[in-house]
């Protein structure tokens, strides 16, 4: 695996031939990209600002994420900034791009730190991005214990439960169940000492039959709904990534509140269908 130092030297050499742009050059290149979709102009904007990506990536450098990966993610953020930058606003490109670079790096670190996603909501992402500075500020003030925690919560600006939850998640890294328990050469894997929660063969067969029955009944109840209500239930309750009320409203061209009303009515209709068919007790 490439070390942080090697990665830094590699990228530094790669961008050395591309000088920092002047403000008027940024504007010209951005206009060429926006007006003509000039790929060469976009590429130059990226290459001439890679120094900033390397610098910002260094701020996030840690043991569990190679610097080269952070730079790659930061580069994606930089390219995203090129696509969205408006040169007519009078803001220097790098001032705008820095936000995108940091956003992509933070998101990558959240996704790779653990097999279990650490930040799935905007509030959790806020805690993750502000926690380091808040801790440092509290330490500089000499705070300890409860006073330190209260100060961290105050600086981050979210509820205490979310802060404590994120701190707990960041306290350690994932540990492989194949890792030996102890230092002896013949130490058994850690996973050997975890009791199995697998069902017995009899239970597995029974559960499979029940699941098949429930799915069939729920499918029939779903098919009894009007097309629009059926769509709302599918994307809101049966999708791997459920859509928000707002997203569904945009798709259907109706308000968020109207989607909520239709959802409530659809679920009520499904329940009544199951009750009338005498099958509710099986799927409750």
Contact partners, residue 240, CB within 8 Å, separation at least 6 = none
Instruction: Name the range with the highest mean pLDDT among 3-7, 115-119, 142-146.
Output: 142-146
Does residue 216 belong to any structural domain of this protein? yes
Residues 87 and 129 in one domain: no
Q: How far apart are CA 65 and CA 71, in angstroms?
A: 11
On whether both 128 and 102 belong to a single domain, the answer is: no
Give a yes or no: residue 191 inside a domain. Answer: no
CA distance 86 to 26: 11
> Is 73 domain-assigned?
yes
The verdict on 92 and 29 lying in the same domain is yes
Q: 21 and 103 in one domain? A: yes
Q: Is the pLDDT of residue 241 over 80?
A: no
24 or 108, greater pLDDT: 24
- In this structure, the answer to whether residues 23 and 41 fall within a common structural domain is yes
Number of domains composing the chain: 3
Q: Domain for residue 80, yes or no?
A: yes
Of the candidate ranges 9-18, 145-154, 174-183, the one whose mean pLDDT is the lowest: 174-183
* pLDDT tier, 149 (very low <50, low <70, confident <90, very high otherwise): confident
pLDDT tens figures, 34-59: 999 999 999 999 999 999 998 898 88
Q: Could you tell me which residues come within 8 angstroms of residue 34 by beta carbon, excluding any fewer than 6 positions away?
A: 87
Do 71 and 8 reside in the same domain of the chain?
yes
**Same domain assignment for residues 270 and 226:** yes
Domain co-membership, 95 together with 137: no
Domain holding 27: CATH number? 1.20.120.1810
Same domain, 54 and 135: no
Whether residue 8 sits in one domain with residue 90: yes
What is the residue range of 104's domain?
A: 4-113
Does residue 222 lie within any of the structural domains?
Answer: yes
Contact (CB, 8 A) for 252 and 259: yes
- 163 and 212 part of one domain: no
Do 127 and 86 sit in the same domain of this protein?
no
CATH number of the domain residue 231 falls in: 1.10.10.10
Domain membership of residue 41 (yes or no) is: yes
What are the Cα distances from residue 133, in Å, to 100, 129, 194, 240? 19, 8, 38, 35
In a domain, 194, yes or no: no
Four-CA torsion 49, 50, 55, 56, nearest 10 degrees: 80
Domain assignment present for residue 137? The answer is: yes
pLDDT in tens, 51-88: 999 889 888 876 567 888 888 899 999 999 999 999 99
State if pTM tops 0.85. no
């Amino acid at each position: 695996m490439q070390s942080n130092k090697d990665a830094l030297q590699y990228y530094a050499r790669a961008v050395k031939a591309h000088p920092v742009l002047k403000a008027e050059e940024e504007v010209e290149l951005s206009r060429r990209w926006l007006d003509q979709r000039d790929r060469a102009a976009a590429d130059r904007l990226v290459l001439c600002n890679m120094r900033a990506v390397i610098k910002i990536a260094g701020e996030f450098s840690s043991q569990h994420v190679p610097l080269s990966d952070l730079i790659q993610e930061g580069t994606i953020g930089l390219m995203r900034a090129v696509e969205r930058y408006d040169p007519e606003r009078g803001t220097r490109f790098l001032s705008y791009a820095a936000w995108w670079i940091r956003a992509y790096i933070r998101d990558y670190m959240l996704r790779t730190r653990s097999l279990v996603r650490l930040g799935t909501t905007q509030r959790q992402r806020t805690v993750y991005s502000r926690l380091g500075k808040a801790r440092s500020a509290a330490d500089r003030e000499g705070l300890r214990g409860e006073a330190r925690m209260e100060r961290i919560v105050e600086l981050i600006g979210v509820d205490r439960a979310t802060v404590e939850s994120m701190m707990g998640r960041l306290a350690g890294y994932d540990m492989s169940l194949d890792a030996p328990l102890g230092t002896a050469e013949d130490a058994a894997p850690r996973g050997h000492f975890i009791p199995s929660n697998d069902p017995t063969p009899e239970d597995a067969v029974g559960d499979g039959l029940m699941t098949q029955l429930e799915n069939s009944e729920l499918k029939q109840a779903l098919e009894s709904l009007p097309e629009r209500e059926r769509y709302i239930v599918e994307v809101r309750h049966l999708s791997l990534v459920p859509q928000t009320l707002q997203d569904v409203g945009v798709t259907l061209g109706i308000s968020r509140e109207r989607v909520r009303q239709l959802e409530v009515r659809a679920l009520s209709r499904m329940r009544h269908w199951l009750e009338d068919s005498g099958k509710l007790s099986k799927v409750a």
